[in-house]
Every structure is written in structure tokens, then in C-alpha cells.
Amino acid sequence: MKNHIVPAFRLTLVMLMIVGIYLAFVYGGSKILPTHGNAEVINYKGQKFYANIGQEFKSDKYFHGRPSSVNYNAAGSGGSNKGPSNEEYLEIVRKRIDTLKLQNPDMLNARIPVELATASGSGLDPDISPEGALYQVKRIARVRNLSEEQIKNLISIQTEKPFLGLFGPSKINVLKLNIALDQLK
């Protein structure tokens, strides 16, 4: 029995060191990010919103984000666990596409960006691609009585480029975009 305890103890110490170093690296790395590893809180019109959690926008005067498989409930983050061959999942995506076409009748023949029809793995993705925002421009311009050019300029301003120009895609935070849209005169 002694022959097993000492190696097990050594292995435990080695693993604690490896995990500790990893956690220190992740924690230290998060501190160089713009939010220092904390949630980005936005206070707007007396309400508190978290910019790094997807929000639901139903009104036609706002940009819509990714659909959520957890109804935007941050306490229940998760995906649907249904693959692209699942008939139930395909029906949900078809309904989302039909809804998008109804909401954006000027874009019937346009390619629908994938993030507008599919939920993210967490169900809480706060961002869409610039293409996802541009898909919605005509609807928002019509409802808000603004020019498409004004809204496209706003999208351009709100677009976040890839980290260090290399890591990740260009993206737009839907909450920040909609707040900027409300402030547009």
C-alpha cells in the first residue's frame, strides 16, 4: 500500500502545480483585456445591462441578435444539443428563416447570415457579424425613418475588429449597437 500512496501523492502535487500555473496564466491574461476579466456593465435609461450576455430585441426598430436556445437566461446557459441532421432542429431553423424574411421583406433574395438563424453554443452570444447587421438595415431605416447610409455608418463605427488584427472575426455587440441607434438623431 505504501508503494501506491507516495506516487499518488507526488502525482497530486504535480497536477496541483500544473493546474495552478494554468489558472494563474488565464487570470493574468484576463487582466490585460479591456474589461480586465470582468463583466461589461452598461447603465442605460435607469437599467443595468451586461454587454457580454445576449439580450432579446423583438421590436422592428432594433437590430436583432442571435436566437437563444435558453431564452436569454444567463443562469441556464447552453445549446440545444441538436445537430444539423435533426428534423426538429431543422424545423426550428426554417421557422427562424421564415420570420427573418417576414421581418425583412426587402431582403427576400439576400443570403441570410447564419448567426441570425442559429443559436450559439451558449445561447447567450451578444454579437453578430457586420453582415448580420447589414441584413437588417433596410427594415430599421424604414421603421425609424432614417437613411440607410446613416445606419450603415453606425454599423461601421460599432464594428469591433479582430483582436490584434488576427484573432477572431469582426463583430458587433447588438446591445451597444441598439443603444447607439437610439442616440442617433
Question: Is 13 domain-assigned?
Answer: no
Question: Is 37 domain-assigned?
Answer: no
Question: Is 136 domain-assigned?
Answer: yes
* C-alpha grid cell, residue 88: 426538429
Give 146-158 pLDDT, tens digit per residue: 999 999 999 999 9
Q: What is the SS3 assignment for 164? A: coil
How many domains in the chain?
A: 1
Residue 80: predicted pLDDT: 75
Q: Which of 81-85, 128-132, 139-143 has the lowest mean pLDDT?
A: 81-85
Residue 35: predicted pLDDT: 74
Domain that holds residue 69: 56-183
Question: Is 118 domain-assigned?
Answer: yes
b/e burial code for range 94-103 (CB count within 10 A of at least 16 → b): eebeeebeee
